[in-house]
Every structure is written in structure tokens, then in C-alpha cells.
Amino acid sequence: MGSEEKEATTADTRPIDRDNNNDEPSMTVSLFVFLVIPVLLFSLFSRLTVNTNVKPIELNGYEPLQFERRKPAGWQRRPIQDDLSVPPPAPIPLESAPSSWPTDYKHVLSTIQSRRRRIEMDRESVAPQRRPSEHESSSANSNSKSQTNADKRTARRRGGADDDARLMVIDQINSLEEAYKNNSGDLFAALDFADAMRFYELRYHEGGTYEKKTIQMYEKIVEMALERKKEALQKNQSTSKSSNPSVASVKDEISLSNREKSIDGLLCAIYTAQGKVFFMANMFERAVESYSSCLDIEPGYLDAVNSRGSALLILGRYSDAARDLVQVTREDDTLGFSDSYQGLARILQTQEEAVVGGWDTLVEPVEDLLPKLEGQFASAPAHSKPAYAAVLTRLHHSMFIYHDAKTKDASAAFEHLKTAYKHKMSILPPWQKGSELSRISQTKNIFTSGFWPSYVGSESRIPIFIVGFVRSGSTLLERVLDSHPQIVGTGENSVFNGRLPEIRNEIVRVSMESPEILGDVTRDLAAKVVLEMKERWEALKEANGVEEVEHEPARLVDKMLTNYNNIGFIQMLYPHALILHVVREPMDTLFSAYKHEFPSGTLDYTCDFESLAELYRAYREIMVHWDKVLPGRVTHIRYEDMVNDMPGVAKKIIEAAGLPWNETVLDFHKKKHAVNTLSTTQVRKGLYKDGMKSWKRYEKQLKPLAKMIGTLVEYDLATNLKGYTPVDHKLEDDAVH
């Protein structure tokens, strides 16, 4: 906290009209307690009522592999690590339909997700229909009761279903930790525990909750496994023979449970898992080292080859990345790692000469595969269709990138894109029409003008929040900030977001029990988040050998785009922190969001016009709301201004952050520090080239989307950085370099 107090406050941009009624704090307190809290409680808990009888699923809260698989005789629930290591490879390209899942666990995870949603939907349709308006009035009438109930529960983030699963995973992690601590010499107990945390990070990765602990655990596990190998070698035992006679080589052991693996197979699995943890923590160099340790043992271990390719891509080592990804496409008979095709397409799009043989290396095998797979998909039994759909999504999407970037054949490109998404949507549970808009309207109902008592929140200006719609240019903005010697970006994991359930919970609890300490509590929470952001940065710096920042960073950037929903809570904790909103021309934003195939997770529904349009409308609506209830609080920055006038915009941003100008900011694209977002390849090129008005090439195809957003197709919100005057220029079809 000490350093927080001392930090520079040169900027006089006191961003918010604060409540002037300081002489009447008790009035504010009681208003807050009696009016606001019940509403807040309602919003947090009302949707959870169906879940009271959810019984914790034993062992694996998420038991994915049982899904739609016939249980063989003698089937037993497998230990937790099997959720992460992979089920038997499915022979997709062969004539017969796959009998089980492809080896790609990302796909498996997305299937788990769908399944869970489906279960919840079934449950809801069985349970009496909930009518929010009725609940609202009844909960208003019986405040005290709902408060007590709510008090017993835990605040949850995005609806009950997801959070129940999340809490179950946490329970599971706790008990695996206990088992590990009971017997800390047990390699498998250690691995089960670490894998469970890794699962959590992958599934709920925005918070990075277990990041540090997971990294430490895998380090221990590697040591333990190496020790085993040493012992075996001393005893002259084979290190590469698994206990399962049907598996002949280490590279095929990916389908075995950890306990069946040979020592080398186990080491490969451990190194690969470790690499993935580093990857998620943005420690890409370390990730590459781990994957390479596995590949030193078994060069054909495709999970590691594929993962190393992705890490190298992010590091901008395109030729090395291409070599790995090409190897995967050649050797991956079961198409378990079909994301390698998309990775390859991204490299080709950025630097064609990095791939030996150029686009042909990608296009020839894909054009050969597509018709076969489409045929097999059509005749596949229902239970194996999702596996095909996942692969087809990626292959068609690679072909979209090809036509978009290389042949410039807009109609062929768009045809592939649409087909890719038809397959993608076939695996997802249907979009719940209206869900996003109703979420936003709840938020609006809670955070009304005057919601924020003047005595809450920290003075700290250390965090800088970047919000905006996906693909609005936020990565560019983050890189610019990060290039200042006193500002650091902390990657994709938002500490604030990860802690949000806890923050919300604490605020609600304290407001009810002892509102007089709410100010202190919000300041404590604010300090905790900042401390954790700093720790995260320290770890990252150490792992990546970043040397640029010698002194303590004065500002830490939190880039969680969807935080546009959470500005109300940001304001509770940090009423003085800079909140930057990147705004981009609507159709450019939408097309860019649409054309990117995001890994499964929160951005699933950008691949369909209807849901994308709703997400966008909701975003616009809530941004208007914040401007209304917190006038001037959010600083808007037009992406187009950044591209056209970076020096001018950057100076004012640094000024708004309260820091002295430094020319290094304009060299943002030279910075080595890797970024793991889809924009990586673009940021490395300098200012986005595919930037402005690129949607025009697809104007015809995008017409229905434009129609769905109606008048929102115009967005004249101007950059409101203090002291900034936009440079007047016309927007060219080709972006400025």
C-alpha cells in the first residue's frame, strides 16, 4: 500500500463527479443498504434458485469422458487426470466413423461445457419456470429472508450453472491437495492435484487463480519423474515400455491414463502439461523449453509438437513454428490436433515465405481432406458428429483465411467461413436469445446514478483498465501502454476479473453486516488486487527474462474486454483509475469479431450473426449507460485515431495515465514481450494493416448483420482524451502502415 500512496498524481483528470454530500454520509449509507443492496442481491442470487438441489458430482465435478460414450464392461470413473490427458485417438480420416473422441482436449472441454449447459437447460425446463419480475417483487417484500439466504451462499459470477461446476472443481482441487499433502512423495497424487488446477486455469482462465501454485507443482513433479527415470536406469529397467501391451510406442501413450504410462511417456505428458501451464501464464519461452524437453525424449509426441508450434507463433518465430505445425499436419492421422491447420494459415497470412512450400503446403491437404470429411460427417452417427464438426470448423476456417488473404476471392472466402460456423454452431448449445440484453438491463438497474457512495474505493491509480468489444484494437492499445518504461501489461489474465466473485461477495456481505467499514473493505480489496497484479508481473518478468523494466512499474494494465459489464464494480474499488474504452467503426469491429474463430469459451457466439448482433447491441447499450451514470468517467479512444495519429493519441494517453512522456512508446511494435492474442501477428507488423473498412469487401455478405444492428451501424463517439483534438483525414480503404 505504501507505494500506492506515493504514486504520482500529476494528472488532474479527476474523472468523476463525486457525491458532494459529504456532510450526510449516514443517509448515503442507509440508502445503500436498504435500496441498493437488495437489488444487488437479487441480481446475484435470483438466478441461482434452481441449483439448490444440485448434488456435487463425485470425484470429477466435470466427468467429461463419460459423455455420450457407451461405458464398456467394467467401466470405472477414471482419476481426474484423464480429463486432461486425452481419450483414445479417433481414426477420423479412415472409412469408419470414430468410436470415440479426437485427442484434442480443447474440443473435449468444449463438449463438457455444452453438456453442462444442456444439463442445466434440462433442469430448468423441469423446474417451474422462473419469472424474474415476480421474484423481484417477492424478494423486495422479504428482504431480510433473502439476505440471510444470500449470506450463506457464495457469490457467483455468470449464472448458477457455471458457478456450481466451478465450485465443485474447487472442492475437488482442495481434496486432491489434501491427498497430495498426506503423501507428498506420491507422484500420481501430485499430478492429479496439479492437473486439476490446470484444468481450472484452462476452463476459467481469465483470473489466473492457481497460476503460481500450478507452476510450482509441475516443477516438483518433473523432478519426481526424473528421479524415477534415474532409478529405473540404475536398475537397468526399460523407461519406454508401458504396462499396456496394446500401445507400442511412447508417442501413442497419449491415450493412456498416467498410471499405465511408461516413465518416458509420463515425462512427455508432464512436460507437455507444464508447457501448457506456462503458455496460459504468458510465459512462452518457458513453454517452448518444456515442450522441447518432451520432444527430446520422443520427437513424435504430437501434443507437444503442436503446442510448441503455437507458442513459437506467438513469439514471432514463424519458420520454427511452421516446421512444427507442418509436422503435425503430416503425422496427425486422427486429426486430433486440427488447430495446427489454423495456426499454419495464420503464419502464411503473415509471412508466406516462413512456410516451406507456401500456401500449397496447407491448401493441398485440406482440399483433399474436406470432401472426404464432409461425406463422412453426413453419414456419421449422431454421437460422433461433434468430433467431425470440430475438425471441419477448423479446416473450413483455414480455407477462409486462404481465400481472404491470398486469392482475395470474397465469395469463396465467405462460403468457407459460413460453412465453418455452421459446423461450429452445431456443437454449441443454441444461443439463448435475449440473455445478453437482459443481463445488461439488470446491470443497468443496479448501477444507477448516485449508486457509488463517496466514501468507497481506493485512491490508487495503479491499475489501468482497458475495455471494449472484442477485436476493437485493444491489443494495440495495450502494447502502446506497455511500451512505456513505467507501465506494464499483465497479459490476458485479469486479476480483477478473477477476483470479481470474491469482490462482489465481500461488498454485499459488508454492506449488510457493517456498512460503516465498507470504505475500508473496498480499499483493502483494491490493494489486494494490485498486489496480485504486481506479483503476476514479477513472475512473468522472471520467466520471460524481461529486462526493460528496472524500476517498480507505476501502472499495471488490466485488459479484460468484457469488463465493460463491470465498470460499476471497477468504480467501487478504483474511483480514480483510468478506464480506457477502445472504440472502432462498428462494421469493422463486427466483421473482425465474426471472422476470427476463437478458441472455445466465452466468445463462442461471435460466430453467428444473430448472437453477435445481440452481444454488440448489449455492449453499446451498457457503454451509453456508463456515460450517463458516471459522466466523463470512461475515456473513449477511437481505434481510427490510434491508426491515423498514433503519436498524438499516445501522448495524451500517457498524460491521462499521469506519467511523463517517453519516446519508447512509439516503438511499441519492436518490443519483444510476447502477446497471446489473435492480434499477435498484427501487432508485430506495426499498426494494423487489415485495419479499416476491410469489411467492405464483404459488404454484400454482411448486409444481414448490418441490418440486425440497425442504427448502431453508426458510432460517432469521439476520442475524449483530455486535450486531444482528432486529426482530420479521410479514412482510406487501405490502412496506414
Ligand X SMILES: *[C@@H]1O[C@H](CO)[C@@H](O)[C@H](O)[C@H]1NC(C)=O
Dihedral angle at the C-alpha atoms of 717, 719, 723, 728, nearest 10 degrees? -90
**Which residue, 45 or 180, has its beta carbon nearer to ligand X?**
180
Does 664 bind ligand X (CB under 6 A)? Our answer is yes
- Give residue number: closest CB to ligand X: 485
Cβ proximity to ligand X, 632 vs 647, nearer residue: 647
Q: State the nearest-atom distance from the C-beta of 13 to ligand X, in Å.
A: 21
In this chain, which of 114, 454, 662, 720 binds ligand X, going by CB under 6 A? Answer: 662
CB atoms within 10 A of CB 263: 23
531 binds ligand X (CB under 6 A): no
CB nearer to ligand X: pick between 236 and 246: 236
Shortest CB 621 distance to ligand X, Å: 41
Q: Which stretch binds ligand X (CB under 6 A): 12-20, 176-184, 219-227, 560-568?
A: 176-184
Stretch touching ligand X by CB under 6 A, among 172-180, 261-269, 440-448, 698-706: 172-180
Among the residue ranges 123-131, 173-181, 310-318, 670-678, the one whose residues contact ligand X (CB under 6 A): 173-181
Which positions from 66 through 95 interact with ligand X, judged by CB under 6 A?
none
| Smallest distance from ligand X to CB 482, Å | 13
User: What is the C-alpha to C-alpha distance for residues 108 and 98, in angstroms, rounded to an integer?
Assistant: 14
Q: Which helix (H) or strand (E) holds 468?
A: strand 463-468
* Cell digits of residue 579: 478506464
Report the distance separating Cα 431 and Cα 610, nearest Å. 9
Torsion of CA 28, 31, 33, 39, to 10 degrees: -130
Residue with cell 476471392: 409
Indicate the residue among 22 and 175 with the shorter CB distance to ligand X.
Answer: 175
Assess 182 for contact with ligand X (CB under 6 A): yes
Looking up cell 503435425, which residue turns up? 328
234 near ligand X, judged by CB under 6 A: no
Among 57, 121, 179, 713, binds ligand X (CB under 6 A): 179
Residues 631-650 that bind ligand X (CB under 6 A): none
**What's the closest the beta carbon of residue 175 comes to ligand X, in angstroms?**
5
Q: How far apart are CA 84 and CA 277, in angstroms?
A: 12
Applying CB under 6 A, what is the total number of residues that bind ligand X?
9
Of 178-186, 214-222, 424-432, 455-463, the segment contacting ligand X by CB under 6 A is 178-186
Give 193 or 421: the residue with its C-beta nearer to ligand X.
Answer: 193
- What is the H or E stretch that residue 622 is in? helix 609-629
- Shortest spacing between CB 659 and ligand X, in angstroms: 10
Name the segment binding ligand X (CB under 6 A); options: 16-24, 524-532, 613-621, 657-665.
657-665
Nearer to ligand X, 233 or 517 (CB): 233
| Near ligand X by CB under 6 A: residue from 66, 142, 175, 411 | 175
Task: List alpha helices for 380-469, DSSP H.
Answer: 385-402, 410-427, 435-446
Read out DSSP for 654-665?
HHHTT----GGG
Q: What is the DSSP letter of 429?
A: P
Beta carbons within 10 angstroms of residue 540's beta carbon = 20
> Which residue's CB is nearer to ligand X, number 542 or number 548?
548
Would you list the DSSP string of 521-571? HHHHHHHHHHHHHHHHHHHHHHHHT--S--SPPSEEEEE-GGGGG-HHHHH
Determine which helix (DSSP H) or strand (DSSP E) holds 580, and give its type and residue range. strand 578-583
Of 8-16, 346-354, 419-427, 659-667, the window that binds ligand X (rule: CB under 6 A) is 659-667
Q: Site residues for ligand X, window 458-517 (CB under 6 A)? A: 485
Min CB(11)–ligand X separation in Å: 17
Q: Would you say 435 or 662 has its CB closer to ligand X?
A: 662
Q: Where are the beta strands (DSSP E) in 478-530?
A: 487-489
CB of 657 to ligand X, least distance (A): 14
Identify the residue among 236, 246, 379, 711 touching ligand X (CB under 6 A).
236
Angstrom distance (rounded) from CA 154 to CA 149: 10
**Helices 699-709 & 586-595, crossing angle to 10 degrees?**
110
Query: With binding defined as CB under 6 A, does residue 178 bind ligand X?
Result: yes
Candidates 40, 12, 32; CA nearest to 632 is: 12
Closest by alpha carbon to 328, among 343, 315, 316, 317? Answer: 343
651/693 with CB nearer ligand X: 651
Report the length, in residues, of the chain: 737
Estimate to the nearest angstrom the gap between the alpha carbon of 97 and the chain centroid.
Answer: 32
Considering beta carbons, is residue 196 or 560 the nearer one to ligand X?
A: 196
Task: State which amino acid sits at residue 38.
Answer: P
Min separation Cβ 548 and ligand X, Å = 7
**Burial class of 202 by CB neighbour count within 10 A (0 to 12, 13 to 18, 19+):** middle
**Shortest CB 481 distance to ligand X, Å:** 14
Q: E strand or H helix at 194, and its extent?
A: helix 187-203
Q: Tell the smallest beta-carbon distance from residue 546 to ligand X (Å).
A: 12
Q: Which stretch binds ligand X (CB under 6 A): 42-50, 276-284, 658-666, 683-691?
A: 658-666
CB of 595 to ligand X, least distance (A): 37
Does 184 bind ligand X (CB under 6 A)? Our answer is: no
Amino acid at 271: Y
Q: Nine-digit cell at 51?
A: 441449483
As measured in angstroms, the least distance from the Cβ of 180 to ligand X is 8
Q: Identify the three-state secondary structure at position 338.
A: coil
Which residues would be at the binding site for ligand X (CB under 6 A)?
Answer: 175, 178-179, 182, 236, 485, 660, 662, 664
